[in-house]
Amino acid sequence: MDFEKIREIVEKEPDEAVEDVLEGVKERYGEIPYILNFMKDMPDLLIPKVMYDNSIMREFERLDPKTIELICIGVSSAIRCDHCMKMHIRVAHRLGLTKEEIFDAVLIGGAMSNASVLAEGTRALDLEFNGTKPDCDEDCDVCNITNNGNGCKVKNED
């Protein structure tokens, strides 16, 4: 959303601005997501949220809309947000993505979610049973590349 469009929206009466913003969302998605519909009586929250979301997911040209929807589906799957996942699946379907392409995004999200569970669980086990703090474990080749300023040591491969 360019600055001129933002200025236009901000200068409108709140109800008119909300109507315009939601109309743009409906054009993009083919529907108004529940969260935005819920917030329609809160223009001071709704408008900045939509502008922020648009600036990240809709306004740049580095990723195409299909890729953005696949990312949304994968993340929704990983964080187990059924509502977001269903909406983004509908949007992806409207964009022409196949069931198989969408399922691949779900599988990737599931793999990332699984990795997150395992990463946290194994680190907690190491800490409890070995007394080591895995983030700075001197025997870990991944953590020991170089000190990255966060207290995590990582080892140089020179």
Residue at 141: amino acid letter: D
Q: Give 3-131's CATH code, choosing from 1.20.1290.10, 3.90.226.10, 1.20.1530.20, 1.20.1260.10.
A: 1.20.1290.10
- Give the pLDDT score at 125: 92
The conformation of residue 32, written as its DSSP 8-state character, comes to -
pLDDT for the residue numbered 137: 53
pLDDT of residue 155: 42
Q: How many CA atoms within 13 Å lie on the side-chain side of 129?
A: 6
Please give the pLDDT value at position 37: 94
pLDDT value at position 135? Answer: 56
Domain ranges of the chain: 3-131
| Single-letter residue type at 46 | L
15: its two tokens: 């109800």
Q: What is the mean pLDDT of each run of 10 residues along the chain (158 residues)?
A: 81 94 92 94 94 80 91 96 96 97 97 92 90 63 53 45
Q: 75-78: long-range contacts at Cβ-Cβ below 8 A with a sequence spacing of 24 or more? A: 75/109, 76/109, 77/105, 77/106, 77/109, 77/110, 77/113, 78/109, 78/110, 78/112, 78/113, 78/116
Asked whether 60 and 6 are in contact (CB, 8 A), the reply is: no
pTM above 0.85, yes or no: no
